[in-house]
Structure 1
Amino acid sequence: MGSYSSPCIEDPFGVDKSEKMGLLEECSRIMNSDSAITSTYAQLHSERIDRVLASTEGTLVESHLIHTQPFLQAFAVHGGDAQSRSLQTGARAAGWEWIRENDLLAASERVRDEAIEKVMAPEGPSGVMDLVLDGLNLSLTMHESVGHATESDRALGWEANMAGRTFVRLSDPGSLRYGSDIVNFTADNTMPIGLASWGWDDDGTPCQKWHTVRNGIFQEFGTVRETALLVGRDASRGCCRAQDFGFFPINRQPNFYLEPSLEPVTPDDLISGIARGIFIQGRGSFSIDQNRVNFQFGGDFFREIRDGKLGGPLKKVLYGARTTEFWGACDGIADARFFQPMGLLTCGKGEPMQGARMTHGASPARFRGITVGGGVR
């Protein structure tokens, strides 16, 4: 028996609706204050989940969760082109304090201005170059190329929906080179702000923390009670979750993140080591093949890097790589001062389809020799 409650300083459901609507209206007014902006979107999302799990094996646990997310987006049009810029700080296991922390009025000005800068920018170059990717951009890349690829049901061949199975084999833990020596992925369903931190999963297994990748070497799959022994583990890692009571619980991604540098490293330090490259912020379009090997990702905002310094904005940038080659090309990560968590409210998987929530994160990181081409966004 037990109970878990996510952190919440200010209950979002206790905030008057007039305050919420006033904030959204002012954000919209600010974003629409330039004639180059043709469309805007402002949203506040809050949810309360009260969950009780009782089983015939004696489990009786409850979780009380509050998740909150702001979102802003502005579309700018110029010269026959349209581009967008967004606030993408993601969801968090937190209350209204997360909305206040984002300072949405200041964020609205930034989103407006950078949407205009983006639509007027030149298209990004094509070729092989170095990249610095911020934590919000890397959250989606790791979600698709690491998180889904290391789900045990995919490795067992039980799951092939939503972009297929995985290249990771049952014999790979402890031997597969997933990234460079500085790449460490930690799974952590005990992270207080994490959306997959429930106290217990839907098998009744306590939430845990472990290494998915350590010093570049793949360590273990995310498991549930049905799969743990089949992939060589003595017990489940507590990754069994259902969308709600009406769905069958399945193997889902945990919260996990790329560990920051233990040494003092700033984004400027990473940029200073690049002769020609691009700094990419936020998430954009993406695709990945049926084995989680070949992928292509965009972003939300792009700036040129030239001779170790940030230059002007760019648009229509995509980067592509193979999973292990990409993470193997990481040669620098900023320290924890620059860590950005990203909570995802909807990750689709299963048949019938169901959603799940989890949190990823990273500090900005540098990748050498990545193929870059043009994109729609």
Structure 2
Amino acid sequence: MLWRSRTPAGHDSLRTRRCEGKSAVPPQQEHTVDPTFLALPLRALADAALARARALGADHADFRLERVRSAAWRLRDARPAGSSDSTDLGYAVRVVHGGAWGFASGVDLTMDAAAKVASQAVAMAKLSAQVIAAAGSDEKVELADEPVHADRTWVSSYETDPFAVPDADKTGLLAEWSSRLLAADGVSHVDASLIAVHENKFYADTAGTTTTQQRVRLHPQLTAVSVDPDTGGFDSMRTLAPPVGRGWEYLTGDVWDWDGELARIPELLAEKMRAPSVEAGTYDLVVDPSNLWLTIHESIGHATELDRALGYEAAYAGTSFATFDQLGSLTYGSPHMHVTGDRTAEHGLATVGYDDEGVAGQSWDLVKDGVLVGYQLDRRIARLTGFARSNGCAYADSPGHVPVQRMANVSLQPAPDGPSTEELISGVERGIYVVGDRSWSIDMQRYNFQFTGQRFFRIENGRLAGQLKDVAYQATTTDFWGSMEAVGGPQTYVLGGAFNCGKAQPGQVAAVSHGCPSALFRGVNILNTTQEAGR
């Protein structure tokens, strides 16, 4: 699930330039891995740790050294309100010994310390094996076979490392954008923020795989707030630009129409403040990618994590109604539904060259023609359930955490010759066009849900007829996706996503993208959120 403290934004198909979207293997960039990371004793530490694990009888061992720099800048009404800049540097050793997992981590970059961490990991595996045996279980940890990738290097797709840009330039741009919004009639306050991450990772295992990787990502966001001085009523409107696996060029280049989006927000917010409350009932919906990505995340992304479907994972987001016995038979949605898992989408937040088990990034089907045909897998779950191999979904968010099965870029594919958003709207007599994400609620089986949004436009006789407010759409997962009558073409496709997907205990947070086109849904139940709250 997503942590509610920082709900990210999507994108408005009718009003803003698109990010390029279709999944493709990212090209090798001109960038090289940061030499200060390469100067660390990566291979020497790995050799010491893996040699110790072998000597102690480990069936498998892997070593992962990470340096993750994360920074954030926050402004309130164009004035600095806070900032942070931290670096997490360390390494981890994971082993399979006696059919059980063992894990330990450290920060002392010496060979002796790395060997000691490996010893601790083996000792943990031995203790785990005793606990498992005492519980009467004979289940053994085994990993699916994978090709060996020796001395591979991968760098994500970006132009300018955001950490190469002076902080004054970052806060200056956010302040300038905030000032534009504050100068508009009806805007009372503006919050602005930017999160940047630079991630380096070195991986080695006893099979011979060694990989070195570098990724950057950005999450910019501005929120305008309007307060009615007479009634005290207030509302807000947020930018729809999604978080991306890009560099500073996302804020200063022609990837996104920031000027256009900022210019439209005050007028849209003023209209929202005056908008009538929705009448609860059944409506046809045209859902914009800026909203639909989150519904995909919660009702498909988490539900097709196979560890959840098997009941091995239930933290935060629960298990899954899409159980393993229904693979190949569960009707997830309409025949127009084609959903992929993808670790290769260019600029995707979950895009990697290799995962944290040394598995190369891949793309595969999860739902095809409306039927469940695949899951997201790591090596252990793949072997446990009879799959030939993993599809590269192991990830740890820090060197102090063990890799767990994490979400790929899960995306709804567009129709090759599909309609525009305007054409989808033109086919609706009475409905609502839903733009931007806001709050959400879904049960622990990923089945019953309701979602709200940033902006809701009434559709009358195929045309937009002003905004509504207090709107939430409610359904079961299979009913909702079963009601999808049409998906837009590639021109409507946007790669949305989030920085804040939470999973596991102890909790981990990962960034993930979800691409989708605009889509038309028939006969969806609409709630009035004010009435539902008893107000």
Range class of TM-score, shorter chain? over 0.9
| Structure 1 pair 106–16 and aligned structure 2 pair: CA distance change class (3 A) | farther
Match of 1:228, SS state, is helix
Paired position in structure 1 for 2:175: 25
Q: Counterpart of 1:85?
A: 237
Q: 1:122 is aligned with what amino acid?
A: P
- Measure, in 2, the Cα distance between the counterparts of 1:170 and 1:56: 31
The question of whether the paired residues in 2 share the 8 Å contact of 1:68 and 1:99 is answered with: no
- Which residue matches 2:405? 251
The one-letter code sitting in structure 1 at the alignment partner of 2:285 is: L
Pick aligned residue for 1:329 from 483, 492, 498: 483
1:136–1:361 CA contact under 8 A, matched in 2:
no
Deviation at 1:108, TM superposition (A): 2.2
**Distance change in 2, residues 1:25/1:207 (3 Å):** same
Q: CA deviation at 1:46?
A: 2.0
User: Deviation at 1:35?
Assistant: 5.2
**Corresponding residue to 1:236 among 380, 385, 390:** 390
Give the equivalent residue in structure 2 for 1:353: 507
Match in the other structure for 1:62: 212
Q: In the TM superposition, what is the alpha-carbon distance from 1:164 to its structure 2 partner?
A: 1.2
Q: Which moved more, 1:297-306 or 1:46-55?
A: 46-55
Match of 1:48 in 2: 198
Find the aligned partners of 2:328 and 2:433 in 1 and give their Cα distance: 33
1:295 aligned partner, one-letter code: F
Alpha-carbon separation, structure 2, partners of 1:296 and 1:132: 16
TM-score under structure 2 length normalisation:
0.68
- Is 2:306 aligned against 1:156? no
| Alignment check: 8 A CA contact 1:129 1:372 kept | yes
Q: Does 1:11 align with 2:161?
A: yes
Task: Tell me the amino acid that sits aligned with residue 466 of structure 2.
Answer: G
Please tell me whether residue 319 in structure 1 is matched to residue 473 in structure 2: yes
Alignment of 1:39-188 (within 5 A): 39-78=189-228, 79-100=231-252, 101-188=255-342
CA distance in 1, matches of 2:161, 2:308: 38
Q: For the residues of structure 2 that align with 1:132 and 1:105, how far apart are their CA atoms?
A: 26
Distance 2:529 2:194 in 1: 29
| 1:273 matched residue in structure 2 | 427
Alignment of 1:218-229 (within 5 A): 218-229=372-383
| Aligned-residue CA RMSD (Å) | 1.5
Code of the residue aligned with 2:435 in structure 1: it is Q
Residue 186 of structure 2 contacts residue 266 of structure 2 at CA under 8 Å; is this kept in 1?
Answer: no
Name the CA distance, whole Å, in 2 between partners of 1:166 and 1:343.
21
Q: How far, CA to CA, are the matches of 1:354 and 1:87 in structure 2?
A: 27
**CA distance in structure 2 between the aligned counterparts of 1:163 and 1:344, rounded to whole angstroms:** 15
Q: Distance in 1 between matches of 2:478 and 2:506?
A: 31
Amino acid at match of 1:200: Y
The 10-residue stretch of structure 1 (179-188 or 16-25) with the greater mean CA deviation from structure 2: 16-25
SS of residue paired to 2:202:
strand
Deviation at 1:161, TM superposition (A): 1.1
Deviations 1:33-88 (A, max 9, x none): 24532321112222211111122332211110011222111111234422111113
Q: Distance in 2 between matches of 1:137 and 1:26?
A: 27
1:69 is paired with a residue whose SS is: strand
**5+ unaligned residues in a row in structure 1: which ranges?**
none
String of CA shifts for 1:230-288, please: whole Å, max 9, x gaps: 33311111101111111111111100211011114111111111111100001011000
Cα distance in 1 between the residues matched to 2:232 and 2:462: 33
Task: Report the AA paired with residue 12 of structure 1.
Answer: P
For residue 11 of structure 1, report the CA deviation from its aligned partner.
2.5
Choose the corresponding residue for 1:369, options 523, 527, 530: 523
Query: What is the deviation of 1:362?
Result: 0.8
Query: 1:30·1:105 contact (CA, 8 Å) conserved in 2?
Result: no
- Does residue 1:292 correspond to 2:442, yes or no? no
Q: How far 1:299 moved relative to its partner? A: 0.6
- Alpha-carbon contact 1:179-1:326 (below 8 Å) kept: yes
- Between the aligned residues of both structures, percent identity stands at 37
User: Which residue number corresponds to residue 302 of structure 1?
Assistant: 456
Where does the alignment leave 5 or more consecutive residues of structure 2 unmatched? 1-150
Which amino acid in structure 1 is aligned with residue 211 of structure 2? V
8 Å CA contact 2:243–2:499 kept in 1: the answer is: yes
Matching of residue 342 in structure 1 with residue 496 in structure 2: yes
Kindly state the Cα deviation for residue 113 of structure 1 after the two structures are TM-superposed: 2.4
Secondary structure of the residue aligned to 1:72 is strand
Q: Secondary structure at 2:307's aligned position in 1?
A: helix
2:344 & 2:309 partners in 1: Cα distance? 25
The 2-side partners of 1:325 and 1:207 are apart by 32
Counting matched residue pairs gives 377
TM-score of the two chains, using structure 1 as the length reference: 0.96
The residue type paired with residue 191 of structure 1 is A
Q: Which amino acid aligns with 1:55?
A: D
Quick one: which amino acid aligns to residue 251 of structure 1? Q
CA distance 1:73–1:240, shift in 2 (3 Å): same
